[in-house]
Structure 1
């Protein structure tokens, strides 16, 4: 029963600094239950339910915090009831079963508290058998902490024993509560005004100065812009050997378990995130003043412990740093965490917890074994004669990204829980971390002097999986043959088959071989031999293929030079490679220096010269280790660098390579520019497997209809495209690739939106994500895209005879899900960089996993999925932080690409002024910066919303088909909102409220509330005033999500017009049928009613004392009108097909019965009235029969009545009660005044 008091308060006091954030949270997230604290225990003793109830009533009497409610007046205050208010229910559940009991307790845990009305403490006693009960208590954290739990449980044991035995004398074991929570509030205010308080303020200001690190644990899901606080709980116990080793280490070092475990947790987060600066929040019980040791309430304070990791930091060094840090912070532990956030302006983005995102709690009980918190159900302990054991509860909320709860049980074993944010982590990831954490602790304690960076996280089985199972790529390919031999095998097998077709001509394998042989003999006479570099400057055409094959057959290596490149770049490449011979055409060769001998395949003189050469195959002079080509790629110094690729590297790319199947029936498009490594896949993929090659002219490639016609006309089977070019083509015609068998996209991260369009339009097409740097010969991994993706399409696993590793800076393997650098091994690893031994030594390193082999450090940031597939996350050198947050521009681009009016998007980080990094979005499509900013604000955290939005007709592409970021224009002032005065009435009203609150006169509509000094408490006050000014409901979260005057005014205007935006569809009246659907909350209550029929558990009894000249007939008429007005009051809950449904009854005239007690003596009247109220409250409702509301009047005396009303919770809640009372009174006044 919920015992309602008359709401007589004995005191009104301010909130403690620690309580203020709870009210801010409630304003921002109404009815959120993440601060419900829920605990349960088995009790293996005989119990008397009434005595249990009375024991808890005594506890509520003893501690004013349990009689407190919270009211928002000018400032938030807390008020203390004079009488105990307890929500207690005793339920027989012997036949429920374990699952039903768990569901019931979970439902009770997730029911929100009404902070302004209370009670904020409820107790459930479930009787499973005569000597087996489950005691379940739920409290709001604003009145309660872990110390309070231990005190409350201990007092329950003592009081139950005393009351059950009838011992009315005060038990000497029950400590007197000398100081209440209001005394603590007063003490805290004095402390903050004292010199010690000012010293602590300065300490924390210095400690939290500078840019605070944001912990970036490996996320499985995108962080939502508005947190739901959905959580999970993963319990675990350290292995016995690990617990023993930990205890022995603490004893040896004379260190507390708390500090050693915190240091281990820091070290683990450091290895998991790769970050060198981390803040972890850890609680202090806030009772350093011993006067409060016997007081309940929210005394806890959070201490942000900030650690910086030096290079090669060992655990021994870290432990000393943690020891020193905790010692310093503990001296100032009473300075409220909420003031740290407020005074230093640390709350900026509502999507991420302020200051720290990871917590650490070593559970300690002031009265009992710590097992009352996390212990398992077999750990039975004595509570003043009662046998208790913890009852594990399912956890559905999380306040931080990750919190480690730890306790040491009496037997020395260490049990723990990871409480994690379900919005960003999967349970299987947390389970992996648990295994890694145990292994990590064990390894660290064996190597306390070793650098933490060298401590391995993976077990031997996990290393075996990564090194062997996911890198088992060996295939029987012709690794000892060279390109010339394999090509000539195809010539011999199919001399009349078509080899290459361009706009002007077609060459068979025999014809191509003849022309290549003549060029080869010519080149050999000019001194070409193995390792000779020969330039070739010809666009996609049959001539290009003749040139490439001729150079290779001569034994040389070709150096491709794209004729579209600037002359300066071409000249640099020719000089850097030491080119003495150049194969080219007349057109486009004017840049070639006179010092370089040219062979122009289209000049009459050179054609005559070549015709005199032999058409026989020249002898094979090369080995698999000789250079095949030198491909120049962009360099960090501004000059391109040449990558030397060997013959075996190329053969590994296209023979038995384990991705797309090559065959003689292939018709391969050549889309790659000569200077782009994808051309090697196209040329050699076709010619070394007997297929046909179709070079596509540049103008055709950029014209979607022309390209589609080309594909259809030549019946192409296989094509490769850069991701940006693919996106542009899909925007024009997503079905244009339908005739292909295989389409590989690469060169940049793929756009899921565009890929999904092609999957829908061409379901028979095999669509591949092809990844690979030039340094590992074109493709390193491939992934067949077999379904739609919302983000991050995997790049797959290594292709044949290749290996891939995800490592940290020390080249140790990273666990699944943990980002790291991708390193590539196997037969695709190129020789190195031409003429750059230092750069080669830096990037081409010894493979620590395979003796005697090398691997290439890509500089790409990737992670492994649980199935072994890799996901590309971006370039490591492009990883940037803005305002402390790591930015992934690909995530922003992917979100923009989903906007219905945008065709293309590119987001870059600009630093046009030193030290000022800002995001700029370059967009192709229709719309405005205002529209796009609002779109992103609803879907991404605020720090990921670009400063600039630049609209363009098209995005510039490089000759290789990638977006040319250097050609993107510098954003102008017009693409960023500078100062602008309020224009609309809504903007003026919002500006006036802000100005008054913040004390700032001139506020522009693009200024952020929080940049101007706003914080969560001021946000609450601002919203309260906005509600008054606009006369409508405004949520605090709206201010966090729309922090500028312009965006908030637009939001408020939308709400005033009845709109809720895309995420919240407008409320619409629906047709009334016989059966109406139920809400989720109603389904839960119906389910509980099915478990225990005829139960009054969810009755809501209300009573009001009416004094004065009340007109009962008018009261009855108002009651009847009220029920006619609200169909919820005429609703019953039936069942259809096993599911609950709402049935709305037709209105029938309602009477208000009167029970007359005036004939009784005064004391008897009061006693009988309370008895009637109790009987009414205990009387169950029949959900299917109804009605689900009952009311009556009790006549107590002349002009003295009690109005009782009982409703079932399934049709009524706390919000409804306020409406119910207001409307009943308004209707009464109308009827009483003769104005119905």
Structure 2
């Protein structure tokens, strides 16, 4: 690195990517960067260098020297800009809700408090668990994160929040099934009860747990959070801090976690001040222009008619993209300046276009919405939804579609601060009870680990009896062990499992086709796997049948009457 800007950038890269030595010619994405890390990189620029940079600038020239050049140009034009400060708010008065919290609170008033917005987590713990250390670690997390301790009420006609006391501790019920003859069925019953029991938004708490002893060296830990106090990123914070606290407390050491500089109530008040005036208008104008005349419903063929009111009961089918195909997708992504998420989104958009007969596809995706470094370590509800309008028209080849998808995502992420409910207000799509507004298909890319690593204990994720799908289709993927894995969730009111398994097969075929024939028009790529092509064209077209050609029709009719 040469000069102060490259040196400062190299230090940020090293922190985010875990790479000690950074060359000025290294590419951020070749070193392991992805969309989420790119956003975190840009969020550090105001404090480290004194300027902002659009995400598109990083993708346009992702080398260290290239980004430094863009930053230097921005500094030359605008000068050093002081970042806004998130100030501490008074806890003695009712607290403002964030925009995201206000949306879920409104839905709870409109629909009732629904299990649709539960975040259940189940972990099987094998080994000598230090139960007091685990309980104390969870209590420390409860006291540490004010975002977990929210309750909600009405004050003079407006929703407001208050915080439960720090010394209340996390509600952790304990069960001992070691001597129960029907331990398996009891465990299933406890897991179902825990995942689906409603929360009380006014009284709280809105996070709870259960510790179930199955044997001397085996436990099940269940944690359930309401979405209004947590999100996917928060799960990563929970995992990391639970690991650190458990290891320290189990060995008799004090809490090693540094004090948090801001808390969720400070963020909620800051967000309402920051996202106002011209900034809010500019973001609303973008979404209004982007989604005007977008299709309000994706017309996927379903196994049953759409019910008059949306049913959120769901199920999931696993997805595994093997290491060889994942490696090829990485190569394709680097070549075209996209991330794995963008490449998979391009293929999935093509599959949805084939299934629906539409070449204008809107897919939702969640974004962490933590554009400031001090927010990265908080547990709370920050996530926002982006509506990505993908243009599949004109029979594009793979390279062209990847470019379209990249541009769409970069523009959307540059306007990600406007809460989705305000996007809906700006666009004003027709509202119906039988489907979600703006989009009905979601694709989420998760970079967080699913479970923590506890010292001396083997921790594995366990299935939960929580069967909810907020959308018609919701795909969730993450990269692990050089593979892309995840699941495709679906509304069981609309689809059968066999149909969704075929959809997963179509995606895999399209991904392979995109890798092998990226410059070929996508309409020429076949999404049918060989087994389904054989079924459609051969087995279902075997029309040969023994026919009594020596007899007349009226005689056959008489036989049938008899």
TM over 0.5: yes
Which residue is 1:166 aligned to? 252
CA distance in 2, matches of 1:665, 1:195: 80
Which residue is 2:86 aligned to? none
Secondary structure of the residue aligned to 1:19 is helix
CA distance in 2, matches of 1:258, 1:188: 28
Pairing 1:147–2:233 present: yes
Which residue is 1:405 aligned to? 476
Matches within 5 A, 1:14-25: 14-25=96-107
Which residue is 2:159 aligned to? 76
Pairing 1:60–2:131 present: no
CA distance in 2, matches of 1:187, 1:449: 47
Pairing 1:86–2:156 present: no
Which residue is 2:203 aligned to? 117
Secondary structure of the residue aligned to 1:291 is helix
Which residue is 1:446 aligned to? 516
CA distance in 2, matches of 1:448, 1:213: 30
1:274-330 CA-to-partner distances (Å, cap 9, x unmatched) read: 211111111110111112111110000111111122221222211100101111111
CA distance in 2, matches of 1:78, 1:212: 37
Residue number among 458, 464, 486 corresponding to 1:387 in the alignment: 458
Which residue is 1:130 aligned to? 216
Secondary structure of the residue aligned to 1:664 is helix
Which residue is 1:419 aligned to? 489
Pairing 1:325–2:408 present: yes
Secondary structure of the residue aligned to 1:18 is helix
Pairing 1:244–2:330 present: no
1:65/1:297 contact within 8 Å kept: yes
Q: 1:665 to 1:205 in 2, by over 3 A?
A: closer
CA distance in 2, matches of 1:31, 1:363: 26
1:20/1:338 contact within 8 Å kept: no
1:687-733 CA-to-partner distances (Å, cap 9, x unmatched) read: xxxxxxxxxxxxxxxxxxxxxxxxxxxxxx99xxxxxxxxxxxxxxx
CA distance in 1, matches of 2:390, 2:287: 14
CA distance in 1, matches of 2:435, 2:415: 25
Shift of 1:215: 1.1
Which residue is 2:555 aligned to? 664
Q: 1:414 to 1:474 in 2, by over 3 A?
A: same
Shift of 1:351: 1.4
CA distance in 2, matches of 1:465, 1:296: 50
Task: Say how many residue pairs are matched.
Answer: 468
Residue number among 36, 39, 44 corresponding to 2:118 in the alignment: 36
Residue number among 522, 528, 548 corresponding to 1:458 in the alignment: 528
CA distance in 2, matches of 1:304, 1:254: 21
Shift of 1:100: 4.3
Higher relative helix content: 2
1:10/1:82 contact within 8 Å kept: no
2:120/2:223 contact within 8 Å kept: yes
Which residue is 1:1134 aligned to? none
CA distance in 2, matches of 1:459, 1:263: 19
2:195/2:465 contact within 8 Å kept: no
Matches within 5 A, 1:563-574: none
Residue number among 335, 338, 342 corresponding to 2:425 in the alignment: 342
CA distance in 2, matches of 1:279, 1:416: 21
Pairing 1:183–2:74 present: no
Matches within 5 A, 1:1034-1183: none
Pairing 1:268–2:339 present: no
Shift of 1:85: 5.0
Shift of 1:665: 6.3
CA distance in 2, matches of 1:48, 1:190: 45
CA distance in 2, matches of 1:99, 1:292: 41
Matches within 5 A, 1:619-1018: 662-664=553-555, 666=557, 741=561
Shift of 1:407: 0.7
Shift of 1:395: 3.5
1:10/1:81 contact within 8 Å kept: no
Secondary structure of the residue aligned to 1:158 is helix
Pairing 1:107–2:193 present: yes
1:233/1:395 contact within 8 Å kept: no
Pairing 1:282–2:365 present: yes
1:64-88 CA-to-partner distances (Å, cap 9, x unmatched) read: 1111111134022222123335321
Q: 1:240 to 1:157 in 2, by over 3 A?
A: closer
Which residue is 2:305 aligned to? 222
1:49/1:90 contact within 8 Å kept: no
Shift of 1:254: 4.4
CA distance in 2, matches of 1:197, 1:62: 32
2:344/2:511 contact within 8 Å kept: no
Pairing 1:436–2:506 present: yes
1:213/1:277 contact within 8 Å kept: no
CA distance in 1, matches of 2:417, 2:294: 24
Please give the TM-score of this superposition, normalised by the length of structure 1.
Answer: 0.36
CA distance in 2, matches of 1:428, 1:65: 41
CA distance in 1, matches of 2:486, 2:524: 26
1:773-821 CA-to-partner distances (Å, cap 9, x unmatched) read: xxxxxxxxxxxxxxxxxxxxxxxxxxxxxxxxxxxxxxxxxxxxxxxxx
Query: Which entry has the higher C-alpha Rg, 1 or 2?
Result: 1
Shift of 1:142: 0.6
2:206/2:225 contact within 8 Å kept: yes
Q: 1:346 to 1:78 in 2, by over 3 A?
A: farther
Which residue is 2:445 aligned to? 362
Residue number among 520, 540, 560 corresponding to 1:470 in the alignment: 540
Secondary structure of the residue aligned to 1:34 is helix
1:267/1:315 contact within 8 Å kept: no
Shift of 1:385: 5.1
Which residue is 1:813 aligned to? none
Pairing 1:315–2:398 present: yes
Which residue is 2:59 aligned to? none
Q: 1:128 to 1:21 in 2, by over 3 A?
A: same
Secondary structure of the residue aligned to 1:382 is coil
Which residue is 1:816 aligned to? none
Higher relative strand content: 1
1:233/1:394 contact within 8 Å kept: no
Structure 1 segments unaligned to the other structure (5+ residues): 1-8, 373-380, 479-654, 668-716, 719-740, 742-763, 765-1236
Shift of 1:338: 1.1
Shift of 1:240: 4.2
Pairing 1:396–2:461 present: no
1:972-1007 CA-to-partner distances (Å, cap 9, x unmatched) read: xxxxxxxxxxxxxxxxxxxxxxxxxxxxxxxxxxxx
Shift of 1:98: 4.7
Q: 1:473 to 1:318 in 2, by over 3 A?
A: same
Structure 2 segments unaligned to the other structure (5+ residues): 1-90
Q: 1:663 to 1:239 in 2, by over 3 A?
A: farther
CA distance in 2, matches of 1:468, 1:210: 41
Q: 1:211 to 1:259 in 2, by over 3 A?
A: closer
The two structures, once aligned, show a CA RMSD in angstroms of 2.4
CA distance in 1, matches of 2:378, 2:550: 75
Secondary structure of the residue aligned to 2:243 is helix
CA distance in 2, matches of 1:50, 1:656: 87
CA distance in 2, matches of 1:351, 1:246: 36
